[in-house]
Amino acid sequence: MDLYEYQGKELFGRFGIPVSDGRLATTAAEARAAAEALGGPVVVKAQVLTGGRGKAGGVKLADGPDDAEEKAGGILGLDIRGHVVRKLWVERASDIAKEYYLSVTFDRGAKQPLFMLTREGGVEIEQVAEENPEALARLHVDPLEGFQPYQARRLIYGAGIDDPSEQKQILAIIGKLYRCFVESDAMLCEINPLIVTPDGEVKALDSKCTVDDSALFRHADIAKMRDVEAADPLETFAREKGVTYVKLDGEVGILGNGAGLSMSTVDVVVVAGGRPANFCDLGGGGDAQGVVDALEVITRDDQVRSIFFNIFGGITRCDEVARGILTALDQMQITMPIVVRLDGTNADEGRKILADAAPANLHVEPTMLDAAQRAVELAQAA
Amino acid sequence: MDLYEYQGKELFGRFGIPVSDGRLATTAAEARAAAEALGGPVVVKAQVLTGGRGKAGGVKLADGPDDAEEKAGGILGLDIRGHVVRKLWVERASDIAKEYYLSVTFDRGAKQPLFMLTREGGVEIEQVAEENPEALARLHVDPLEGFQPYQARRLIYGAGIDDPSEQKQILAIIGKLYRCFVESDAMLCEINPLIVTPDGEVKALDSKCTVDDSALFRHADIAKMRDVEAADPLETFAREKGVTYVKLDGEVGILGNGAGLSMSTVDVVVVAGGRPANFCDLGGGGDAQGVVDALEVITRDDQVRSIFFNIFGGITRCDEVARGILTALDQMQITMPIVVRLDGTNADEGRKILADAAPANLHVEPTMLDAAQRAVELAQAA
Amino acid sequence: MPREGPLMAIVIDRDTRLVVQGLTGSEGRFHGLRNRNYGTNVVAGVTPGKGGQDVEGIPVFNTVAEAVDEQGANTSLIFVPARFATDAIYEAVDAGVTTVICITEHVPAHEMLRVYTYIRAKGVTMIGPNCPGALSPGKANVGIIPAEIFSEGTIGLVSRSGTLTYQIGHELTQLGLGNSTIVGIGGDPVVGSSFIDIVERFEADPETELIVLVGEIGGDEEEKAARYVAEHVTKPVLAYIAGFSAPPGKTMGHAGAIISGSSGTAAAKKDALEAVGIEVGTTPTEVAQLVADRFGART
Amino acid sequence: MPREGPLMAIVIDRDTRLVVQGLTGSEGRFHGLRNRNYGTNVVAGVTPGKGGQDVEGIPVFNTVAEAVDEQGANTSLIFVPARFATDAIYEAVDAGVTTVICITEHVPAHEMLRVYTYIRAKGVTMIGPNCPGALSPGKANVGIIPAEIFSEGTIGLVSRSGTLTYQIGHELTQLGLGNSTIVGIGGDPVVGSSFIDIVERFEADPETELIVLVGEIGGDEEEKAARYVAEHVTKPVLAYIAGFSAPPGKTMGHAGAIISGSSGTAAAKKDALEAVGIEVGTTPTEVAQLVADRFGART
């Protein structure tokens, strides 16, 4: 789960990482009130879960409440890389002498947290890594050893930060960022830029945090940060139903079981000349209610012309899936063609259940490729 | 550093381990007031850093304030194994249905924390380990893995605790005790007995905690629990001076450098037929002030008849020690015989410094054995 | 069920003495009994508080330590809920189990970092979490792989996905080809065994003649495996990658299946594999056909 | 200083490339330079914030990683204050140093539990904390042992105490006997190397003919060493134990030197050693004499 800048900064604040004072605003009037409360010049910042908001005009300096209101009006509603701005973070403006970069990420390759620090902040870290790799200090942390102060020292010396006051502040921030990362079950905690003000104060001017979905059960406070309104309504509906669903842009609705097989099904539909409408994984359960829920999600997409059920039973039992399909057809009166392919655990029973019921729009195919071709044909014919 | 029962219970309380409500009292009147505040029957318990206080009459049940005052009067001033009772813990009396034992210790042999749990509580654990070892569940914890819930399960099943409510409470207490142990830098956290009341409530009726002296710098709250008044005044004085000193019961004052050599010096004085007055380790420094401080400590002991300086220089430099001895003699006007033996780093310079000054009561000997014999003779002659 | 043939296999074999953690739960019971019916030596179950019971004759203990002490368990299959999964892994490893297969999905990633580091140092073999387990046809089945769709043979199959593995195994069976061992390593960002770990075993396994590697988007394990194969593997290797049509930034079902920025794409993985001479099939059917062709060419 | 003779020794030898953590402090400087004067290859110092300086020509770095990268350091000698000591150990080990000798005393015991577990899994050799270091006469000296009182020879000496080691070494020298290596393992409850670790190396060391073990009250390392010697050591072993007159419950200077209840007494240790045929001297002088007698008997 990705956090907005303001949410990440709230997290930073809890761990003692210095951030600027600010207020959330969802209207221009709220932005004015925020500027009034903060006093002095403020920065009005679009809150969107994508990069490039600066270039897109999503970040503006305002010299006071009037200006903040006006700038907020201009930013709200902007479309930044497909994300419509509905929230603003209004924060006290900072003078910037230097821009650094600091992050800790979950390095799945090394299977260790990875710190990165560079004095070349304010730009994409990939760019620094490519153009000026020796400016980027990188250090892995052994997860059992945990954070040790020497690691922070290696980072600051490695990055060439030589001002003693900056060193001291950044050493402290590195330790706090690690705590934030581990104790929040984060996959990424990035500060870009980490600024130094003309007075020599170091603080986080931006935040980018991603939290492990699987650990949200122990972080109720973070879980409730999820912005339901900003998400794709179909994906939100799917989440509520407990269905793993990603909207794509075609006509063949796809329902597989297991992430790998579902991904492969999407690919095979493309190979068969079709355009997949979605990725949808029934998951390990696959009982009747699961099938009903998944079909409900898939059929809410108006583009869908045919549905391809691709099931290979492991934990999932094909007879249950078959019963789920019949139940769903019964409850939902789906008229569009449904192509079903069943194999694995209890596949024979499943096929028999479908053959016995034999609804008119149900087509059972013997192989994955056959079924994909049939689903594509039926979508194109519809 | 050993904690009193009431201090250990304060620690337990911080980590959520259930203990009875109680008050500290240093007079019979305070014990009465405590009983009044607590209401109902109370237990008046001598606070001493030794075992066996129950048998020694140091723990008494009182049915109310009057009785508590009376019982307190009887316990205060008791000598329990050489410890005079100056403090009482007055706590609400508990009904006891069962007495269990739970501890986590620093197992230096295994280099891991060791949990022990048995239903045979209320007696010395060594006795259980010897007489009924299969009743004692033991489990080591990998320090990097840390506490995992399964460990608590292994302990409760291993100890044969089968009541589900007790299991649940003890599982929680085991986890909290481990946190208490690690986060307090304890060498021992023992609950004996861990009682079950007739209502099925589990709580710590006693506590025995020892905290690592080397970690007290980060536990100011625990460090200030040290009971200066109860300690041997000479040892307290030594601690203030930063001198490692243990009072023994003889006439030859001993000052060595390094724990091993100092211990060996004590042994060698015994081999030479003498009785050591103390163990005293000058430590690694051994500058003039250190020697002065150590001599001040040793000579405060009226039993001392001669002093044996046994120095083998490593970090300690013999010339500094020699200068320290002369400075001390100068400042303190010590008239009793001092036998000095110097070897190792800068030994020649040290011997020369002493030879040049040649105070009348100073005897330089070439070997440790010679010096020990001389010091014993001089003590016996004095 | 088959009880003849060689005893050896990778990860699990006839020496496997299995304890099922969570045997009394519905999934644990269903698959534990299926594994036993297949011929796997299921010696114990563990469910705290249910010690002394049995599941169709399989004794249940309160702790893994008892299962090891009393039944000689050496391999654990874990079905406990996600928030108790790493505790179960530590319990198994600390009790002396040397192979752990964890089926549970949604195990928090940070917990797995610590577990991974802990068990690697101990030399323990771990498969999963969020995996279907391992099957050595004719020898043993530990996990949820439907064994009936696979047959005995000499193809080693390793995959990040469960159902996709079944699909490819099924296609191979249709072509008359069988497997030495099938290992589903799991779809999480941190899993106990990587492609390289399993490919290394297949290379050393006398019963494996050819290796099929089934990857998917996310991470760089396929790229690393390609380099490893180029340097260390003499047996033929073929591959399949899922997720060519996946959009960046979206988790495709598996927590590990996500294209981050420009890394982790199926195309990049295909390129890396092909660069070292590993053919990559476009569909599960095609990869099975490539295997059949290769066997035709070799025999 | 001697530069001839065999290169081998235990723990440290002519291949030792030493970095001194805390070289710019007064102790670090004093002993670091003494070690260099003895002939030890002191290649670097580390003090955060003093990188770029030098101590009499020894370059100082901000981090151990730099000392390893730029100077090829493979052994670290640690003089930093107690509250920074375990950080320094982790820094050394993570930078690739394979032998760590920590002189610092008063290191918190719980920190050492974690460090110990961490470094053992990595195969790193650690001596200390709260130890005098190691000296291989004629080869290298790492730590605070006054080398001039020892001479070259074939007696391996291992001890929990610093000054007591010097005493015994001194007595040996008086009798014309020399040492292969002297290792002070330290007086804390948890130290990186035990008697057994060092005795095992002496047994394997071709330059060591006889082993002297210098123990003291507290713990059961001497008892364990006795069992180990009985089972694994072919070379003659002699011992000395300090603390016969120590009262129970009192820490005798070393955090590890404490008699707890009935365990850890000098008498118990002496009994355990004698039970396996290891003679125990009553004074340092006597143990040295026993060694001399033994050599007389053998040559």
Do A161 and A74 fall within a single domain? no
Q: What is the ipTM of this complex?
A: 0.92
Question: Are A28 and A69 within 8 A, CB to CB?
Answer: yes
Same fold yes or no, D18-127 and D150-298: yes
pLDDT of C299 above 70: no
Cβ distance C94 to B142 less than 8 Å, yes or no, reads yes
Do B239 and B196 fall within a single domain? no
Active site residues of D: 254
pLDDT band for position A286 (cuts 50, 70, 90): low
Owning domain of residue B164:
98-223
Cβ distance C219 to A284 less than 8 Å, yes or no, reads no
Do B237 and B377 fall within a single domain? yes
Q: State how far the Cα of D219 lies from the Cα of D269, in Å rounded to an integer.
A: 10
- Compute the count of residue pairs across chains A and C with CB atoms less than 8 Å apart: 181
Residue among C107, C252, C282 minimizing CB distance to A279: C252
Cβ distance C161 to A268 less than 8 Å, yes or no, reads no
- CATH of residue A35's domain is 3.30.1490.20
Do B186 and B302 fall within a single domain? no
Do A35 and A88 fall within a single domain? yes
Minimal-distance CA residue of chain D relative to A149:
D87
C195-204 and C221-232 helices, crossing angle to 10°: 30
Q: Is residue A281 part of a domain?
A: yes
Mind telling me how many Å the CA of C87 is from chain B's nearest CA? 6
State which H helix or E strand residue A252 sits in.
strand A252-256
Measured CA to CA in angstroms, residue A330 lies from A88, A339, C92, D51 at distances of: 46, 16, 47, 77
pLDDT of A307 above 90: yes
Residue B149 with chain A: CB contacts under 8 Å: none
Q: Is residue B245 part of a domain?
A: yes
Question: What does CATH list as the number for C18-127?
Answer: 3.40.50.720
pLDDT band for position C146 (cuts 50, 70, 90): confident
Q: Is residue A275 part of a domain?
A: yes
Handedness of CA D31, D32, D33, D37 (dihedral sign): positive
Question: Are C211 and C287 within 8 A, CB to CB?
Answer: no
**Which tokens go with D125?**
């050799």
Do B353 and B256 fall within a single domain? yes
Do A106 and A166 fall within a single domain? yes
Mutate to test the interface with B, among C19, C62, C94, C115 (most CBs of B within 10 A): C94
Do B261 and B216 fall within a single domain? no
Burial profile C251-287: b = 16 or more Cβ within 10 angstroms, e = fewer: bbbbbbbbbbeeebbbebbbebbeebebbbbbbbbbb
Mutate to test the interface with C, among B140, B144, B150 (most CBs of C within 10 A): B150
pLDDT of C7 above 60: no
Residue among A259, A271, A312 minimizing CB distance to C252: A259
DSSP B304-373: --EEEEEEEESSS-HHHHHHHHHHHHHHH---S-EEEEEEETTHHHHHHHHHHH--TTEEE-SSHHHHHH
Cβ distance A312 to C167 less than 8 Å, yes or no, reads yes
Do B213 and B244 fall within a single domain? no
Minimal-distance CA residue of chain B relative to C91:
B150
Give the pLDDT confidence score for residue D297 in this predicted structure.
Answer: 58
Residue B144 with chain A: CB contacts under 8 Å: 144-145
Residue B246 with chain D: CB contacts under 8 Å: 246-247, 250-252
pLDDT of D63 above 90: yes
Among residues B92, B121, B142, which one ends one of the domains?
B92
Q: Is C62 on the interface with B (CB under 8 A)?
A: yes
Minimal-distance CA residue of chain B relative to A146:
B144
Cβ distance D94 to A145 less than 8 Å, yes or no, reads yes
pLDDT band for position A101 (cuts 50, 70, 90): very high
Do B375 and B290 fall within a single domain? yes
Q: Average of pLDDT values for D181-203?
A: 95
Question: Are A245 and A279 within 8 A, CB to CB?
Answer: yes
Residue among B144, B148, B167 minimizing CB distance to C87: B148
Fold of D150-298: Rossmann fold (3.40.50)
Place of tokens 């042999």: B109
Place of tokens 């980060």: B218
Q: Is C145 on the interface with A (CB under 8 A)?
A: yes
- Model pLDDT for residues D87-114, shown as the tens digit of each residue: 999 999 999 999 999 999 999 999 999 9
Among residues B73, B92, B111, which one ends one of the domains?
B92
State which H helix or E strand residue B263 sits in.
helix B259-271
Measured CA to CA in angstroms, residue A18 lies from A14, A21, A169, A354, B298 at distances of: 10, 9, 10, 62, 53
Give the pLDDT confidence score for residue C1 in this predicted structure.
Answer: 36
Give the pLDDT confidence score for residue D4 in this predicted structure.
Answer: 41
pLDDT of A113 above 80: yes
Mind telling me how many Å the CA of D188 is from chain A's nearest CA? 21
Q: Is D116 on the interface with A (CB under 8 A)?
A: no
Do B69 and B142 fall within a single domain? no
Domain coordinates in residue numbering, chain D? 18-127, 150-298
Residue D86 with chain A: CB contacts under 8 Å: 148
Question: Are A361 and A332 within 8 A, CB to CB?
Answer: no
DSSP D58-118: EEEESSHHHHHHHH---EEEE---HHHHHHHHHHHHHTT-SEEEE------HHHHHHHHHH
Q: Is residue A228 part of a domain?
A: no
- Model pLDDT for residues C10-47, shown as the tens digit of each residue: 788 888 999 999 999 999 999 999 999 999 999 999 99
- Model pLDDT for residues A133-176, shown as the tens digit of each residue: 899 999 999 999 999 999 999 999 999 999 999 999 999 999 99
Q: Average of pLDDT values for A177-196?
A: 97
Mutate to test the interface with B, among D102, D168, D245 (most CBs of B within 10 A): D245
Do B145 and B211 fall within a single domain? yes
Active site residues of A: 101, 190
Cα torsion through A364, A368, A369, A375, rounded to 10: 50
Q: Is C22 on the interface with A (CB under 8 A)?
A: no
Cβ distance C256 to A182 less than 8 Å, yes or no, reads no
Residue D51 with chain A: CB contacts under 8 Å: 157
- Among this protein's residues, is B101 annotated catalytic? yes
Interstrand relation of A306-313 and A338-344 (parallel, antiparallel or unpaired)? parallel
For residue C92, the Cα-to-chain-centroid distance in whole angstroms is 18
pLDDT band for position C108 (cuts 50, 70, 90): very high
Residue B153 with chain C: CB contacts under 8 Å: 48, 62-63, 91
Residue D84 with chain A: CB contacts under 8 Å: 149
- CATH of residue A121's domain is 3.30.470.20
pLDDT of D2 above 70: no
Instruction: Find chains touching chain C: ≥3 CB pairs under 8 Å.
Output: A, B
Give the pLDDT confidence score for residue C69 in this predicted structure.
Answer: 97
pLDDT greater at residue A359 or residue A184: A184
Q: State how far the Cα of B174 lies from the Cα of B159, in Å rounded to an integer.
A: 13
Residues of chain B with pLDDT under 50: none
Give the count of domains, chain A. Answer: 3
**Which tokens go with A108?**
């799945």
Among residues A190, A223, A256, which one ends one of the domains?
A223
Mind telling me how many Å the CA of B144 is from chain C's nearest CA? 8
Q: Is D94 on the interface with A (CB under 8 A)?
A: yes
- Model pLDDT for residues A129-143, shown as the tens digit of each residue: 888 889 999 999 999
- Compute the count of residue pairs across chains A and D with CB atoms less than 8 Å apart: 33
**Which tokens go with A211?**
């939290």
Minimal-distance CA residue of chain B relative to C65:
B154
What DSSP state is assigned to residue B2?
B
Residue B144 with chain C: CB contacts under 8 Å: 118
Active site residues of C: 254
